[in-house]
Amino acid sequence: MPAVASTLSCPDFNALSVLYTHDDFLLVYKPPGLGFHREGDEAGVLDLLREQHEGALFPLHRLDRITSGLLLVARSSEAARDFGEMFASRTLEKFYLALSARKPARKQGTIAGGMQSGRGGNWLLTRETDNLAVTQFFSYGLGNGLRGFLLRPRTGRTHQLRVALKSVGAPILGDTRYGAEAADRGYLHACALRFSWDAQTWSFLLLPGSGAHWPSPWPEQAAADLQAPWDLPWPAVRDTPHKSA
C-alpha cells in the first residue's frame, strides 16, 4: 500500500491551525488551553474551524483543554462514517507525548483498568475486568528532573491518559486536577496519527512547540523513537486490570 508520511511544522503553536487539507478531512493543530466545545461566550475548536472553512465539518475525536496536538475532522458524512469505523475498530493509531516531574512505578508497560467517574469531574482507574481502558507507554529520563512519556492509547476514554499516568505514580506535569505539580500548561501533546485512507497509509508527526518544559532536542533514544512511533515494539496488551505490565 502506498504511504504518505509527513513530519509537520506549525506556524503558531498558540493558535488553532489547519496543517493539512484533504478532500475528505482536515488535519488540525489544537493549542493547549482551548476547549473543544463552546463554553458560554468562549468559542471552541469547531466554532473556530467553521469560521475559517465553508462546508460541513464532522468531529471525529476530541482533545482535553490542557492537551495540544493533532486532530482529524471529516468534511462529509460519508468520511465521518468511515473514520468512525476506524476509531471503533482501533485501526486508526494515535500517539501522545507527556512530561511528569515524578518517576513512574515502571519504565514501560501496559496500563489497563476500568474507568469510573468520581468527584468534581475526575475519573478513577478501577479493577473492573470488562470494558477496559488500555494504555501502552515508554518513558525516558530527560536529565532535567523530568520524565518523558510516549503513550499509545488502545481505547478512547475520557481523561484516559491522565488517569493512567497518575495510576503509575507519574501524573502529567501541570495537570493539577490529578495531583501533579503546577506548570505553565498541562504537558500532554497528541504528536502522531497513522491510518489508511484512499488505498494509502497516512502518517503524520508533530512535536510539541508550546510550553517551557518540552525538551529540545529530545534525548537520543527518545528522538529516534519519535521518528516512527508506530514501528516500535510496543508492550503486549494484557487483560489484567489496573496493572502496569
Helix or strand run (H / E) with residue 68: strand 68-74
> Do 74 and 57 form a contact (C-beta atoms < 8 A)?
yes
> Do 245 and 167 form a contact (C-beta atoms < 8 A)?
no
Cα torsion 166, 13, 35, 71: sign: negative
Q: Per this entry, what is the length of the chain? A: 245
Instruction: Return the C-alpha cell found at 227.
Output: 521518528
Residue 64 falls in the annotated catalytic set: yes
Which residues make Cβ contacts (< 8 Å) with residue 19, sequence separation at least 6? 8, 10, 27, 28, 29, 70, 204, 206
- Region of residue 174 (left: phi > 0; alpha: psi -120 to 50; beta: else): left
Using CA atoms, how far apart are residues 11 and 29, in angstroms rounded to an integer? 10
Catalytic residue among 12, 64, 82, 231: 64
Gyration radius of the chain's alpha carbons: 17
- Comparing CA positions, the residue from 203, 174, 175, 208 lying closest to residue 191 is 208
Using CA atoms, how far apart are residues 86 and 38, in angstroms rounded to an integer? 26
C-alpha neighbours within 13 Å on the C-beta side of residue 119: 0
| Catalytic center residues | 64
